[in-house]
Structure 1
Amino acid sequence: MVPEEENDGLLDAERHQARHTIAARAQLFPVAEKFVSLNGEGLAAGRPAAFIRFAGCNMWCTYCDTRWANHPLVEVEGWSVPQLLAWVAETGVSCVTLTGGEPLLQPYLPDLVQALLAVSDPRPLRVEIETNGSRDLEPMAHLREVCAEAGLPGSLHFTVDWKTPTAGEAVSAAMRRENYELLDARDAVKFVVGSEEDLTFMEARADEAGLWDRCQVLVSPVWGAIEPAEIAACLIERGLDRARLQLQLHKIIWPNETKGV
């Protein structure tokens, strides 16, 4: 049964979080799954990474491929910052991807990120936050600068979605334009496109926000809705040589898996 909050593509984040109050009061993260896999997309695409997927999102995009983790009744495990740090250390990899759901819904995310950035043994961590573009990124951007000024060895990177019309009208309209002004060469904006309209939308938004000179611009297909060749042809014909077509590698390598990849 689909929750009634999903009707317009937006979910009530506060009501969703309230379902995890026990974990929140104990300063635990509601973790839907954690695993080691290859980064399927983003600036670290192809690199093995430790993924931490938080439950819960404030959106219900039409093409969401982790919808199970966003359902209000999804089963979660409560994990503390020290426990997650220990698990990341056990994986032996230096890339960490914080995803969801929507990571910026987690009130203790700054504590976890700061702890991850402080790791230096056996080597510093590359931490990436994947966020849907509708939540305020400023606190995390500020934390990144504070940690850099403090000399913490790790690096923090943001991959911020800019939802296209295919994601849903209300979803696309919920983007926080000020988030994109906080990005730099360490970061990426991801457009998931499913039509020619989405491609035109992507070009217009990237132009208006000055993304081409600020950060990386990634373009990914809605799986099954548009052929990658159509996107490639568009980028070439329009001279969008600063955009980067990305395919979801995990869907190519593990086409029948929806979890743990």
Structure 2
Amino acid sequence: MVPEEENDGLLDAERHQARHTIAARAQLFPVAEKFVSLNGEGLASGRPAAFIRFAGCNMWCTYCDTRWANHPLVEVEGWSVPQLLAWVAETGVSCVTLTGGEPLLQPYLPDLVQALLSVESPRPLRVEIETNGSRDLGPMAHLREAAAEAGLPGSLHFTVDWKTPTAGEAVSAAMRRENYDVLDERDAVKFVVGSEEDLVFMERMADEAGLWDRCTVLASPVWGALEPAAIAAYLIERGLDRARLQLQLHKIIWPNESRGV
């Protein structure tokens, strides 16, 4: 069922977060699920990672494959920063993916990221934030630079969506252009494409924002809507040798699973 907050693909983030007021006041994160799997996409694709999926999103994309976690009534567990740190340590992996939903809706995300970047033993952590591109990334970018200046051992990476027309007109228009200015070679911008129109859109936006020389540009097909071969042909024909075709590994390896992968 589409939630009552839907409005042309955009959700009322404040009303959505109000569902988790008790957890927020206790400085807990509304965690929809946490698990260890392979990174299915992004620059760490194929690498085992500890995933923390937060509930709640301010968007309702047409192709969303974690819609269950975005529903206002989704069941969550409240986890504190120390509890999440302990769980990550128990997993034994050094790659942590913060996803959702929309992680940047979480008011205490900087506290969690700072703590993760401070881990030294047994290995520093590679922390990735997957964000939909509509929330202000500036504070997290400042945190990254401050952490580097302080000599924290971990590294922070951003995978930022740039919503295409297939995601919905209002969704595509909600991108914060200034977010892409804070990215560098540590980061990626992901275009989920479901048509040739989306591919043309990707090329134009990457050109206008100067993404090719700033970060990695990923083209990922809407699962079942556009064949990877069509994306490959477009990249080759247009000479887009700085873009990467990205396939969602988790959907290839575990095609019938929607959670825990």
TM range (shorter): over 0.9
1:82 lines up with 2:77 in the alignment: no
Q: Distance in 2 between matches of 1:96 and 1:123?
A: 12
The answer for the alignment partner of 1:107 in structure 2 is 107
Q: What's the CA shift string for 1:121-149, capped at 9, x where partnerless?
A: 00000000000000000000000000000
Q: What's the CA shift string for 1:33-67, capped at 9, x where partnerless?
A: 00000000000000000000000000000000000
Q: Structure 1 residue 4: deviation in Å? A: 2.4
Q: Aligned pairs, how many?
A: 261
Q: Structure 1 residue 247: deviation in Å? A: 0.3
Output the TM-score relative to the length of structure 2.
1.00
Q: Structure 1 residue 170: deviation in Å? A: 0.1
Q: Distance in 2 between matches of 1:199 and 1:2?
A: 28
Map of 1:45-64 to 2, 5 A cutoff? Answer: 45-64=45-64
Q: Structure 1 residue 6: deviation in Å? A: 1.7
Q: Structure 1 residue 5: deviation in Å? A: 2.0
Q: Distance in 2 between matches of 1:102 and 1:162?
A: 14
1:3 lines up with 2:3 in the alignment: yes
Q: Structure 1 residue 3: deviation in Å? A: 1.4
Q: What's the CA shift string for 1:93-128, capped at 9, x where partnerless?
A: 000000000000000000000000000100000000
Q: Distance in 2 between matches of 1:14 and 1:6?
A: 13
**3-state SS of 1:179 partner:** helix
Q: Structure 1 residue 157: deviation in Å? A: 0.1
Q: Distance in 2 between matches of 1:6 and 1:43?
A: 31
Q: Distance in 1 between matches of 2:145 and 2:259?
A: 33
**3-state SS of 2:30 partner:** strand
The answer for the alignment partner of 2:151 in structure 1 is 151
Q: Distance in 2 between matches of 1:194 and 1:259?
A: 23
- What are the ranges of 5 or more consecutive residues in structure 2 without an aligned counterpart? none
Runs of 4+ in 1 over 6 A off after TM superposition: none
The answer for the alignment partner of 1:208 in structure 2 is 208
Q: What's the CA shift string for 1:231-254, capped at 9, x where partnerless?
A: 000000000000000000000000
The answer for the alignment partner of 1:243 in structure 2 is 243
Q: Structure 1 residue 7: deviation in Å? A: 3.7
- What are the ranges of 5 or more consecutive residues in structure 1 without an aligned counterpart? none
